[in-house]
Structure 1
């Protein structure tokens, strides 16, 4: 959804608001949350997207955006620190066009209003989404479907909602009513889902070991796509900022089948 605003917000005001709104200081994360690349001070137009890839940056430049807000930004732990190759090109494009880059990883997964997990529940029609407190940082959620469904129907529901066919593992004859989920690369939370006693677990990615965990523990597993499960939080965040500050917002979905 695009919002055409007419106001301007200062970069530091936006950064401070996002720090407080997303409760950034609560999280121990794998990358810095907040302003990652500094651009112009006055922000009138923002672009949101899942990942700060070159196609997203190029489209933001074409829209004459002042800032980009993403879930997957830059400067991850254990990645090369030098600014060469792909990273150099991305950051140079931002700096040449005076565009700020904001990145919010775990804070955007966990937020109880615009977070990836809450927004995914809304897309899939999961009722009463609640955090599972045994997992830190509000990252694992659970709820229930309006009515029990079989695995084939739930697979179709996910595919329709997310525009991507999920991988299903499990006994297709067992009905699904209760569900746990964590967006992105959270396949190893499947053991917590088993402890919770839910019928199914959803995350974005799958590993070889996930198949055996699901089959031997009798739980449905749905790998619904890392990108597909995480496109809704940053979009909701952009809409919120557009309404809060009266600025222009464009969500750009760069297709990623993973």
Structure 2
């Protein structure tokens, strides 16, 4: 009888979902943007622009950026769903050199307690510095299912040489990379546009999620402190693409 009760108790325990301590405090990352269709993240840097990785590049006019999200598949009343008007990829695209895309919103974001931009980096991250990574995706290695709630992990920045030593043969090092995470820390977030923030500044978007394949290996992020000039140049010089619609005066 005791064994039967023990088996039933263990079965019930196994059937109950365990609490996930990597779920972010709701709306604690007001700059986080969910790119619908791509199923990954970006970071809001002003009312018009979002920064993400090459992998997460959305399709203009057919994709939606959702701001003010926490549970990606539940309407909470805090969201702003804005069509994506244009994307500008850093060239050469997704080479060993760069993985960065800027996304232009069709209408400006409205700032409030749930939607707010993150400052660009005023300096580069330092080895040993503690940073915070957030995104929608599994934090368990080899688990690929979608995740509804925004996840947060804390990672230390790793020096470049240590990172290079962990690269598989098919990856090539670039000065535009920064690595973070160790085996004794949370080191996996399976969102191709995960956002890394250090000291309240935007320092990275995910490039390669190596920590999800082997927790001993740091994950790789685009080193955004090196791209500030390019980002500002894109924003300052942006000209909307010419419309293909026929002006009304030509049809009357």
Q: Normalising by structure 2, what TM-score?
A: 0.27
Larger radius of gyration: 2
Q: Normalising by structure 1, what TM-score?
A: 0.26
Greater relative contact order, per chain length (Cα 8 Å cut-off, separation 6+): 1
Greater share of helix? 1
